[in-house]
């Protein structure tokens, strides 16, 4: 056995042991490295362009989805929105809302044109991958920084989605959302694990203080992942994600969807979320969200 191969085996054992990774998770880590990521994305895209999706990534292989695989996707776990515009970007997170639509933060997809979009639903053992498209003309609420993207292909493995599980942010002060777990600061592609973040909705006094701060700083501008212009459609939480966690669904203690994580307030470090837009409920029987 040559020295290079021996070193690779040792590195694999070290990484798997250090981060409690299985063989399949290690393969996901390798695919996340820049030199592998583009090739993997292109393989998925080639399959999805030649057939109806989704495809399934499992144990280092891309397979055509078949109902006999019995894929089970947990509704509350976010999906990853992956964009290719010359390079691979894990742009943000989202949740399956129903009728073939994924709900996410508008700034995750809005600035991009002529790009390819994949949406990945990890379920632990494997990852379900769809091709998707963004149509800015509908299903968008600019004020709340929310939009929906359309999945292409068979959506039956995803179930009903969260459209009938929407609650109110003021029903419970306890909240939680999921953020991506990284290894060596690398986003795992296309699947990976998520870390649950538990927190609470901040008191109104803190919110008013933040709004007052923003009114005194009219020249402030929003950067990606940062929110400065608060409205009554926004609520603050005591927990924050990291870059690339925008769009993650936020839940109350009952497990009801109450908002979408937008980013970190650049001044006070709060997490900023927007309540679910009324235009996204209900979904009509044609499968098109109301405008």
Both tokens of 255, joined, read: 């497990």
Checking if the pLDDT of 119 tops 90, the result is yes
The pLDDT of residue 285 is 35
Sign of CA dihedral 93, 236, 186, 90: positive
pLDDT tens digit string along 192-230? Answer: 678 899 999 987 545 554 554 444 444 333 444 444 444
Domain pair 34-151 / 169-216+232-280, same fold = yes
Grouping H, G, I as helix, E, B as strand and the rest as coil, residue 125 is coil
Q: How many CB atoms lie within 10 A of CB 268?
A: 13
The pLDDT of residue 138 is 66
Between strands 257-265 and 226-227, the pairing is parallel
The pLDDT of residue 288 is 55
CB 275 within 8 A of CB 169: yes
The pLDDT of residue 185 is 42
Checking if the pLDDT of 286 tops 50, the result is no
The pLDDT of residue 52 is 83
Percent of the chain's residues with pLDDT above 70 = 65
Query: Which residues, other chains included, contact 37 with Cβ-Cβ below 8 Å and sequence gap of 6+?
Result: 31, 88, 189
Closest CA to 147 of 97, 113, 194: 97
Checking if the pLDDT of 162 tops 90, the result is yes
Checking if the pLDDT of 12 tops 70, the result is no
Checking if the pLDDT of 79 tops 80, the result is yes
**How would residue 257 be classed by pLDDT, with cut points 50, 70 and 90?**
very high
Going by CATH, does the domain composed of 169-216+232-280 fall within 2.40.10.10? yes
Where exactly are the structural domains of the chain? Answer: 34-151, 169-216+232-280
Going by CATH, does the domain composed of 34-151 fall within 1.20.1430.10? no
**How would residue 65 be classed by pLDDT, with cut points 50, 70 and 90?**
confident
pLDDT tens digit string along 82-100? Answer: 888 777 676 799 999 999 9
CB 273 within 8 A of CB 267: no
- Please identify which residue in the block is written with the tokens 């044609």: 286
Angle at alpha carbon of residue 291, lines to 130 and 48, rounded to 5°? 15
């Amino acid at each position: 056995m040559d020295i290079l191969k021996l070193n690779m085996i040792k590195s694999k054992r070290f990484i798997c042991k250090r981060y409690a990774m299985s063989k399949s998770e290690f393969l996901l880590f390798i695919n996340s490295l820049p030199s592998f990521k583009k090739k993997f994305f292109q393989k998925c895209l080639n399959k999805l362009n030649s057939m109806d999706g989704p495809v399934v990534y499992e144990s280092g292989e891309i397979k055509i989805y078949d109902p006999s695989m019995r894929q089970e996707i947990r509704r509350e776990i976010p999906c990853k929105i992956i964009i290719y515009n010359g390079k691979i970007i894990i742009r943000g997170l989202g949740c399956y809302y129903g009728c073939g639509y994924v709900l996410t933060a508008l700034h995750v997809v809005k600035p991009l044109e002529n790009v390819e979009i994949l949406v990945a639903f990890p379920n632990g053992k494997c990852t379900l991958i769809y091709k998707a498209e963004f149509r800015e003309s509908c299903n968008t609420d600019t004020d709340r920084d929310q939009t929906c993207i359309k999945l292409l292909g068979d959506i039956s493995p995803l179930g009903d989605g969260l459209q009938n599980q929407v609650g109110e942010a003021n029903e419970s002060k306890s909240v939680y959302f999921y953020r991506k777990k990284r290894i060596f600061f690398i986003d795992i592609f296309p699947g990976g694990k998520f870390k649950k973040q538990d927190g609470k909705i901040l008191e109104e006094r803190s919110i008013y203080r933040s709004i007052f701060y923003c009114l005194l700083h009219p020249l402030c501008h929003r950067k990606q992942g940062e929110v400065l212009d608060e409205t009554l459609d926004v609520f603050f939480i005591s927990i924050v994600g990291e870059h690339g966690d925008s769009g993650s669904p936020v839940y109350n203690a009952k497990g009801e969807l109450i908002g979408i994580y937008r980013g970190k307030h650049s001044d006070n470090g709060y997490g900023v979320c927007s309540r679910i837009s009324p235009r996204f409920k209900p979904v009509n029987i044609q499968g098109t969200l109301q405008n």
